[in-house]
Structures are given as structure tokens and as C-alpha cells.
A and B are shown apart, each in its own frame.
Chain A
Amino acid sequence: MLRIIANRALVAIPTLILVSMMIFGLQKMLPGDPVMAMAGEDQNPQVIATLRLKYHLDEPVPVQYALWVKAILHGDLGASLRTDVPVTKLIAQKLPVTLQLAVMAMIFAIGIGLPLGVLSAANKGKALDYGANVLALTGMSIPNFWLGIILIFLVSVKWQLLPSSGYVSPTEDFWLSIKTMLMPAFVLGAALGAQLMRHTRSAMLSVLRSDYIRTARAKGLLRGTVVVKHGFRNALIPIVTVLALLFGELLAGAVLTEQVFTIPGFGKLVVDAVFNRDYAVVQGVVLVTAVGFIVVNLFADVLYVLLNPRLRKS
């Protein structure tokens, strides 16, 4: 088990190096210049020159990259070019926000996707199956930002049930925090839930066709028991794979959702940083996200082994 984890972790290192190079390179290819963005509408040439010197932007790109990597290895992600706040502090501030959003969205996605997927597979070809499929297709087709704005209009402006946007920390006011996050989490979770439902359904269908399911039914086990105990458990492996992949989509979706609901999380941080050419922040956030993605996938690999004893020997 430990060997598997160690192996995967080793493979992650070159991935990370590649990712860091890509983050840095793509960033430099963006038109526009952080120093000019910082100098604002005044565009004072003296200020531009000073800042360029201060942030080593006059050095060749490989030198800048080396300086950045050296700093990271010392645990220093730099400071926001715009506000002077250290990037590590920004990440510590924003990460819990996006994690809360992601976890709540996942709860929605799993809460909707798994039961619907299992139910529709067990009732293949019946009205329930069609209904669930229509729901899933709708969920996948509706754009995040549109659903968000419609919900804000209905739930917050018209019915005044939930706060329309923003963020409250759970340590400050737990219930208000959950209430504020409910709509965005639903918006983000709905699309994922729809995909999860489709994958669960197809995984379940292929499992339910296997011989051992027929045998289990033949020996007189209840249909429900067969579906849940024998079917669902075996369908879980592809589902876990999908869940790990969906995590990436979750982060991408969070960027949009956070814009619509003005949630001060990772997504909003990185979008604003890109528009302001705040290199240090973009690099730091994307790097941490990439690490997060790698860790989640590592976790999924470990989970396979736990779910499927056959994998333990190899």
C-alpha cells in the first residue's frame, strides 16, 4: 500500500515541474504587462521603470522562472503585485472558502447524482429513467452563470429567502454561512450531479447485466439488496474515477460560480489576478490548484485499492 502511494507521489514530481513551467510560460505569453496594469491610468514612466526593476521583470524569462522556483523552495510564493499581501496569506484566506463551496457542491452532486443514477439504472426504460435522464440533460446543458443569475433573481430578489451573494465564514456565523453558500453550491453541484448521474447509471447498467447479479436474484435475494449491495458496490470504482476527474471540473466551475455570486474564493482571486496581470498571485494559485488536483487523484488511486481487493496484489 505504502509502495503504491510512494510510487504515485514520485510520478507527481515531474508533472509538477512541467505544470510550473507551463504556468510561468503561459502567463508570460499574455499580452499586457503587470507593471502597466499597476501603474493604472496615469502610466507614470518613472513608476513603471521602478516596478519593473523591483519585480525582476527586466530579466530574461528563464532567469525569472529560476528566481520564482528558488523562492518557492524556500516556501515563499511572493506577494501580490497590486496589494502587497503575501500570496501564501491570500491562499490561506481563500482556500477554505472555495473548499467549503466545493464540499457543499459535492454534497449536492452526490446527493442528487448517485441515487438518481442507481434508481434510473434499476428502472431502465421506465418513466423514472426517462425523467431522471431529462433532468440530467437539463442540468448539464444549463450554463452555470445563467442558472446563478436566475436563482439570484428568484430566490433573493423576489422571494428574499437567501442572501444574494458574498461570503460569511462558518466560524463567524455557521448557519448564515451555510445559507449564503446554499445557492452557489447548488448551482455548481447541479451540473456535476447531472454528469455523476449519467456515469452512475451506465456503470450500474453494466454491473447489473453481469452473471453474478442474475445468480444473486436467482437464489432469491431481494431486488433492493441486489441493486445496492451487489450492484452499487461494484459500480463504485468507475464512479470514484469520475469523481476524481470531476474535482477538476469543480474547480473550473467554481471560477464562474464565484464570479456570479461574488464569493471571495480561489476562482475570483485568480480571475481578478489575471485581469490585473498580478503574476505572483496567478502563479501561486494555479500551482496550489495543480497540487490539489494531483493529491485528489492520488487519493482516488488509493481508494481503488481499498475498494477493489484485486488491485492490492499488483
Chain B
Amino acid sequence: MRKIMLAAVIAASVGSSTVMAQSNSTIRIGLQDDIGTLDPARSSQVVDRIVFSSLCNSLVDIGPDLKVVPMLATSWSMSADNKTLTFKLRHGVKFHDDEPFNAAAVKANLDRARSMPASNRKSELASIDHVDVVDEFTVAIVLKAPDAALLATLTDRAGMMLAPKTLTDDASVSTHPVCSGPYKFVERVQNDRVVLEKFAGYWDADKYPIQKVIFQPIPDSTVRLANLRSGSLDMLERLAPSDVASVKSDKNLNFISMSGLGFYDLTFNVSNGPRAPKAFKDKRVRQAFELAIDRDAINQVIGGGIFSPIGQAIPSNSPYFDASIKTTKRDIPKAKALLKAAGFEQLNVELTFGNNTVSNQMAQMLQAMLSEAGINLKLRPTDYAAALNASTKGDFELLYLGWSGRTDPDGNLHQFVTCKGNLNYGRYCNPDVDKLLDDARVKATVAERKPVYDAAQKILADEDPIIYLYAQPWPYALSKKVQGFTPYPDGLIRLRGVSIKG
């Protein structure tokens, strides 16, 4: 009997030590939202991209400074007429099902993303006329018209490559994607986890010490943090701003934050349907709102110091950022004077917002700040899906909304402020802005495009169809065991060089 017990004890201890060894090379990452479809062509959520960044490779990637860097393509060149973008592809890359990566695979993927009925990438790739396979490792993308944003677009989901043989079955791509990234798909339990394990055949495999990645969606930020503190998670993304101070003072945790590509803003309903208030047609009224808001106070009270105030749609780490546009400082007398000049002493406005802890605090704070300028804000909290619906239909007066941001400035501006822009919920329309932003699309270099964006942004800063409040932050909390993590402005968690110690 004693022998049996001894054996059991030994077995148990051996068992637990192997468990330890395994857990050391596993990273468990807490996500804010549940993951949607696992098909990069159909994905529509920010959180999906975090999973994709370990699972799939794009043709090109971005560096921390937002410059485009090689990934599956090692080099690229644009033709003199800015209409043919040629990629030289990396040799020896394999998909998770051992299919080789080559020019034909790139063509198959881009063609699918452009033509599949439910593809969310169609508009991003709309400028492509056709894709040519030049030789096994050279592919040429021929454009209908010059598109300066395309290269940056290909760093994201539009440029992600799936194994060609799997492309025929859309449902299977969505539930069991086969890519070429450092980790391959193992399983997904909806609302619970997505598990990836290291792909031994990865071309850069020795830079990835972690063997297994478990993504766990835990929407409640309190519970997400509790899981990190209790050791059930190794890191989490989108820490609640109210928890920043407590994580900073926790000796077992590291806090890392990065200002993102996206923004949170107030959109005026200038002319979208009958609900558009007449007052909003007058730019002085819009400027009065801008002057009544104290972004620094928002950052301190709600943002925990990570809601960096902004005054434009282009992120400060972008080469296109216009440093001459300053964030407006609060000036109540001036706001009142502008309102009065526009013919209003008092103004009653309804603010529509997708309800969550932060947006609720934000709405209340805006309400308090605007009331000092004589603007009475009525709050209309809805859930996110209903807010989207209201914004498209024009069923709102003032809208508080976020945008996750794109690397190229085009993605943060064109669709929001051009007359026919798909996300131009307020239907602001100024042909001068349209012309400038269209123009910036067909110019090729930063030096050529920057002055055009500057000109457009000067108009927008004056006319204020959208008040940019703060840059979308990417705050992470990590166990001290996690080493080598570098944040990127796009918020993706890149596991290259990340390891777990102890």
C-alpha cells in the first residue's frame, strides 16, 4: 500500500512538473471582446486582428514608427505611373498545411478578398484592377488608378494570406483558418478561447520562444484584471483607464501603453435626415462645442492619463501628422460669444452613444462641461449595434463614436468627411475637402501627400464637422514574467521575441 502511495506521489509530482514546463511556454492573453469570424477577408472587429497577428502573415507589416516593413514580401516597387505595385516574395515560406507560399497564392487570396460577396475588404481593395503572377516569387498588382494607401492597407487583413487549397470553403476558413503565421490554429470555443500552437515550419520560427498561445475574451475589465492578478492570464489588452494607477503600483505587474491609430470623436449631424439640428449647419455653433470641452480634464478624470488629447484625425506617430494644428484649449466666454453670434443663448442637443462604463462617464462629463456654455446635453445611451443603426439612418443629433484607425491617413479621413463617404454619418460636405482628399490618394510619396493632407486638415479644423477628443489608447497589463513585449500603434500583439520567464 505504502509503495503504491509513494508511486502515486512520484507520479503526481512528475506530472505537475511537466505541467509547469508546458505552462512556461504558454501565454494566455485576455481580450476585451469575443472574436468574430476567423476569416481575415470577412473580419470586421479590431479584436480579430489581434488573433490574426499570430496566426497569419500579411504581405507587408508596419514598424513601431508606422513605416511599412517586409513580411511575406521582401521588397516592393511602384511603377513610374503609380499604377503597378510589384512585390518580390519571400522564398521557403509554407502554409500550416505545408502548401508552398508563392505568387499564385497571393493572386488567389487577393482575388478572393476582392470578389467574395461577404468580403469586408472589397472597398479597401477597390483600386485593384487585376493581379498578375510574374514568376513564382514575383507578383504585380495592377491598379485602375493610383492608390497611395494600398501598401499600408496590405499590412492589415487585406494583405493576409490563407492557404490556397482552403479558399474554396468559406465556412471552413471562418471556423478553421489555415495561414502561414508563426502559430497555427488548434481550436476555438466561442466566447471562451482561441488556442494556437507554434508552427514548426515557420520561416522565422526561432524568434518565437512561446509554444502555445491562448486568447481568452473576457469583456468585463474588472474580471479581466482579476484573472491577471490571480495568475490565470499572463497579459491583457485594453486595461480599463480607471485601473491604470492600481496596475502601475502593483509590483507583480507591468503597465505598457501606446497611443493608437484610432480616435474617439463627436460627430455633428450636419445634414443627415430630418433630425439634423439647424444650429449645426453653422460652423460657429460647432466651434462653440469644441471650445467648451476640456480634453485635459477628460484625460485626467476618465482617462487615467492615457487618453491623449488630439485635434485631428491623423495620429501623432504618423509622418502625416500636422503639428501646426493644436488641440483647442477650453474657453467658455469665447464659446458663449460664438453661440450668441450664431443666434443662440441656449441650445438643447441629444447625445447618442454606445453604452459602456467609459462612454457613460464621458457623456456625463461632456454634459457638465457643455452646460457651462449654455448647451444642454440630453444623453441617449444605446447598445453598440443600435448606435450603429442610428448613425447610419441619421437618427441622432450628436454622436460619440470611436474608430480603431488605419495606418494610412486616408483610412482616418476620406470615408468620414468626404461628401459620399461611407462613414460620414453627419453628411458634412465640402467640395474643397473632397478634392484635396481625392488628390492625396493619387499622389505617391509622403513629401507629395503631406501638404495636401495639411490643407484638408486646416479646413476641417476650422469647420469642425467632427470634434476629435482623444487618441484611442492601447494600454496593456502584463505579468512580470512576460518579457520582450513591444507595443505597436495598431494595437496588435506581436509575439516575436516575447518569452515567459520563471
Contacts and interface: CB of A to CB of B under 8 A. Distances in A.
A157 B229 contact: yes
A80 B36 CA distance: 10
A82 interface: yes
A314 interface: no
A32 B123 contact: no
A115 interface: no
A54 B231 CA distance: 44
Interface stretch (B72-80, B203-211, B219-227, B485-493): B219-227
A38 B222 CA distance: 27
Interface in A241-262: 259-262
Nearest to A90: B190
Contacts, number: 145
B346 interface: no
Chain B interface residue bracket vs A: 35 or more
Interface string A47-89: 1001100100000000000000000000000011011110000
A56 to B, nearest CB: 15
A132 interface: no
A262 B223 contact: yes
A46 interface: yes
B330 to A, nearest CB: 29
Contact of A164 (B192, B193, B230): B230
A156 B118 CA distance: 43
Given A157-B229, A165-B227, A260-B220, A32 B385 contact: yes
Which 5 A/B pairs are nearest by Cβ-Cβ distance?
A: A40-B44, A264-B192, A32-B385, A31-B386, A156-B230
A277 B404 CA distance: 21
28 contacts: A31-B386, A32-B383, A34-B385, A38-B44, A39-B120, A40-B36, A40-B45, A41-B45, A41-B403, A43-B392, A43-B422, A47-B117, A47-B122, A83-B37, A84-B170, A84-B175, A149-B226, A153-B226, A156-B232, A163-B230, A163-B232, A164-B223, A164-B227, A261-B223, A262-B217, A262-B227, A276-B36, A276-B385
Contacts of A211: none
Interface string A18-53: 000000000000111110111111111111001100
Interface in A83-108: 83-85, 90, 93
Contacts of A51: 118
Nearest to B122: A46
A261 B386 CA distance: 26
Given A44-B422, A83-B190, 18 more contacts: A33-B385, A34-B385, A41-B45, A42-B44, A44-B123, A46-B123, A84-B37, A152-B226, A156-B226, A160-B230, A160-B231, A164-B232, A166-B232, A259-B219, A262-B218, A262-B220, A264-B192, A275-B384
Contact of B226 (A41, A42, A157): A157
Given A36-B389, A51-B118, A166-B192, A31 B382 contact: yes
B136 to A, nearest CB: 33
A203 interface: no
A264 B190 contact: yes
A110 B204 CA distance: 57
A269 interface: yes
Contacts of B361: none
A85 B191 CA distance: 12
A150 to B, nearest CB: 11
A272 B191 contact: yes
Contacts of A82: 36-37
Interface string B37-63: 110000111100000000000000000
Contacts of A269: 190-191
Interface in B1-55: 34, 36-38, 43-46
B51 to A, nearest CB: 12
A33 B390 CA distance: 10
Contacts of B383: 32, 275
A156 B232 CA distance: 9
A167 interface: yes
B23 to A, nearest CB: 13
Given A44-B122, A166-B216, A93 B190 contact: yes
A17 to B, nearest CB: 28
B360 interface: no
B376 interface: no
A198 interface: no
A71 B422 CA distance: 35
Contacts of B392: 36, 43
A153 B228 CA distance: 12
A28 B44 CA distance: 23
B174 interface: yes
Nearest to B35: A83
A149 B190 CA distance: 23
Contacts of A259: 219-220
A201 interface: no
